[in-house]
Structure 1
Amino acid sequence: MLSRRTLLLASPVCLVLALTACGGGAEPDPGPTETELAAVAQAPGVGRERLAMEFGDLFDGEEGLGETRAAIVMHRGEIVAERYAPEYGADTRFISWSMAKTVTAVMVGMLVADGALELDAPAPIARWQRPGDARAEITLRHLLQMRSGLDHTEGGEVPYESSEVRMLFLDQRDDMAKFAEEQPLEAEPGEKFEYSSNTTVILADIAADVLTDGSGDPDSRRDAVDTYLRTRLFGPLGMTSMVPEYDAAGTLIGGSAIHATARDWARFGEFLRNKGSYRGTQLVPRKWVEFMLEPSPPAPFYGGQTWLNTQASDPQNQLYPIDKPEGVFAAIGHMGQYIVVSPKQRLTVVRLGHSDAEQRRALLRQINDVVELYPTE
């Protein structure tokens, strides 16, 4: 079937031949609907009708994409397309799922910049420092790049037996970090890539310990992390809708549970596109964001709690098929939450909603259709 984009761009002769090949009875697509056009700014940086159709297809395209509840395109720092499904709006807070991992990485980077943590020193987990414990070799870099070597299972044939599900929803949910940190090694630290929400909770636990001098009081831990995030990141960026979740031990559920509006998720993407700078203020060092975009040695498609479009064809890469232009990266959450950033196009695309694994491949192809409209600059 011919896409609306193909029909719009075809020359008159090619269009007649294409329609004839399809049986001759098809009508040319009339172009974007009023709803689709209304979602796009007058000067979005590319052809308005083209963007309206590709952006609109995130909502009204093939059923195989799942349910898009909110989407935003920002170009050169301005919102050029924004739309919400019925019953959702600009004030709706959407759960991050694993997009929270990238927020946690920024928080850790701020603590490193403060001199409170060291990237290549042993991770300051007391139970790992006992004599003979090989986990003492795990560094902050290993944790951030998902190569700690810990025996964590993100998914599995029996979901309720996975480390992630037990930690988030079942018997280990009250003290998530304790459970994550108690796991043995299954590989030498640094050697194996293992995507893990449990690993990010360890990072959040480290942050809480640093900010409270090791206090075990849940209220103190929660308040310290919440204050740090709001004064150092959320407040300066104007991300006023942010609502982080904490477990009963006061640890930020830093791999899975931060709530915010679509606009605030877009602001966060733009912050990363600008290498940690906002309106001339460097909130986290440029070098830290560059580290977050540095490929993990065992998995070149992953950086520091951030997905990269290098080796896009690797089946583990959650950004496939977005492989161009070079340098695209993303925060990605369960069930189809995306902040896709393309520095070379000065572009940030946010999509929030609900899509299963098969639908997410089709959804990413549609996001890619939006991304490729914009030239590199």
Structure 2
Amino acid sequence: MFTRSRPLIALALAMTSLAACGSPGPAEAPELSEEALSAVTKDAGAPAKALAREVDDLFTMDGLGETRALIVMKDGKIAAERYADGYDQDTRFVSWSMAKTVTALLIGQLVGDGLLRLDQPAPVPRWQRSGDPRADITLRHLLQMRSGLEHTEAGPVPYESSEVRMLFLDGRDDMADYATAQPPEAEPGERFEYSSNTTVILADIAARALSDADHPEARRRAVSDYLSARLFEPLGATSMVPEFDRAGTLVGGSLMHATARDWARLGELMRRKGSHHGEQLVPRSWVEAMVTPSPKSPQYGLQTWLNRPTGEAEHPLFPDRAPQSAFSMIGHMGQYVFVSPEQGLTVVRLGHSNREERMAMLQQLADVVELYPYEGR
């Protein structure tokens, strides 16, 4: 019986072997294009092909929106740089809310100069009238988005939001007047409420600290000249173009324009705690305060988003995949300057992604970040 079955067994084994040879194995990653490979420099600080692939995925994967520019800097050197068709090193990209962090740097310089005080009542003339509860709002409250003012950033009806009304409707000619006129809805410092109106108040305070004149051109020139002389030019970020409203107030929460490299320079300045080539452009203690969690929002410092866990399912960054010391400028539709001091990293991603795409894109951005080790991982 055994001998008669041996040919059948042999045939069965042969057929199994042939079937195995013809079955598809694990899918091989497609070859990287020359464009993908050339985006990575010799100073990548990570496996070059792995970095090229992760960067390529940000530009080519479905469901992430449109990445228009990406820069990865490791220890102050460009590790990868790539642009979508129609964009290049000279393209100025709009900040949207990344401008808030730049406004905080401006305020920090004014505090360092002794022109403003962090824990004194904010010098807003309208609030100094007798009995006005807004007189208790401090500069720190504004910087941490804890003013208590009735500012609604977004809602189901866009034209009813405080941000849209200030930027594009009845507040657009004098944004600070609109923002400071809003009534209180909570005690100062009581709760966190993200608000572009709040940052415009900070920009107005900066203008008042730098100029006694109410003339729009005098206000605009005072702030513009200060930013250029004290921040942009020393940093080499000469492409920066801040926008002002008709009253001469910096649109400090939403509208600055710069190349991707200059956005990277600002990120690097913060990674180095305000120092650039041995010159302290922004006080070190101020940058440290910017990345210290607010009492009411562990994911937010002074006009800066932090990579700290909140206990919530949704997060503006990815605290489970990068050091908690990391932080970011974040702008509408997927603008990011992500900084991780423990990894020596600054990563700039600029483009256009809706909310759903942005969540997926962030995880792909985390894939880039995870190529770089850090202590404790």
Q: Match of 1:189, as an amino acid?
A: P
For 2:5, the equivalent position in structure 1 comes to none
Contact kept, 8 Å, 1:276 with 1:282, in 2: the verdict is yes
Which deviations, in whole Å up to 9, do the C-alpha atoms of 1:123-170 show, x marking residues without a partner?
A: 000111111111011000000000000000000010001000000111
| Structure 2: distance between partners of 1:101 and 1:144 | 9
Contact kept, 8 Å, 2:309 with 2:319, in 1: the verdict is no
Q: 1:277-316 to 2 correspondence within 5 Å?
A: 277-311=275-309, 313-314=311-312
Cα distance, 1:317 vs structure 2: 3.4
Q: Does 1:196 align with 2:192?
A: no
**CA root-mean-square deviation:** 1.3
Q: 1:179-258 to 2 correspondence within 5 Å?
A: 179-213=178-212, 215-258=213-256
Gaps of 5+ in 1: 1-19
Q: 1:1-377 to 2 correspondence within 5 Å?
A: 24=24, 27-61=27-61, 63-213=62-212, 215-311=213-309, 313-314=311-312, 317-320=315-318, 323-376=321-374
1:304 alignment partner, SS class:
coil
Gaps of 5+ in 2: 1-19
1:152 alignment partner, SS class:
coil
Which deviations, in whole Å up to 9, do the C-alpha atoms of 1:198-228 show, x marking residues without a partner?
A: 0000000000011002x21000000000000
| Structure 2: distance between partners of 1:321 and 1:359 | 19
Cα distance, 1:325 vs structure 2: 1.4
Contact kept, 8 Å, 1:37 with 1:49, in 2: the verdict is yes
| Structure 1: distance between partners of 2:291 and 2:311 | 18
Contact kept, 8 Å, 2:308 with 2:319, in 1: the verdict is no
Contact kept, 8 Å, 2:43 with 2:78, in 1: the verdict is no
Deviates more, 1:30-39 or 1:69-78: 30-39
1:51 alignment partner, SS class:
helix
Which deviations, in whole Å up to 9, do the C-alpha atoms of 1:81-136 show, x marking residues without a partner?
A: 00000010000000000000000000000000000000000000011111111101
2:289 alignment partner, SS class:
helix
1:222 alignment partner, SS class:
helix
| Structure 1: distance between partners of 2:373 and 2:309 | 22
For 2:8, the equivalent position in structure 1 comes to none
| Structure 1: distance between partners of 2:330 and 2:320 | 13
Cα distance, 1:318 vs structure 2: 1.3
Which deviations, in whole Å up to 9, do the C-alpha atoms of 1:245-288 show, x marking residues without a partner?
A: 00000000000000000000000000000000000000111100
Which deviations, in whole Å up to 9, do the C-alpha atoms of 1:169-215 show, x marking residues without a partner?
A: 111100000000001111100011000000000000000011002x2
Q: Match of 1:364, as an amino acid?
A: L
| Structure 1: distance between partners of 2:44 and 2:182 | 50
| Structure 1: distance between partners of 2:157 and 2:208 | 33
2:231 alignment partner, SS class:
helix
Cα distance, 1:26 vs structure 2: 5.8
| Structure 2: distance between partners of 1:137 and 1:60 | 50
Ranges of 4+ aligned residues in structure 1 off by more than 6 Å: none
> How many correspondences in the alignment?
354
Structure number with larger C-alpha Rg: 2
Q: Match of 1:331, as an amino acid?
A: M
Cα distance, 1:292 vs structure 2: 0.2
| Structure 2: distance between partners of 1:228 and 1:155 | 32
2:63 alignment partner, SS class:
helix
Cα distance, 1:322 vs structure 2: 5.6
Q: Match of 2:246, as an amino acid?
A: A
Contact kept, 8 Å, 1:31 with 1:49, in 2: the verdict is no
Which deviations, in whole Å up to 9, do the C-alpha atoms of 1:1-23 show, x marking residues without a partner?
A: xxxxxxxxxxxxxxxxxxx9xx7
1:65 alignment partner, SS class:
coil
Q: Match of 2:182, as an amino acid?
A: Q
Cα distance, 1:43 vs structure 2: 3.5
Normalising by the residue count of structure 2, what TM-score does the alignment of the two structures yield?
Answer: 0.92
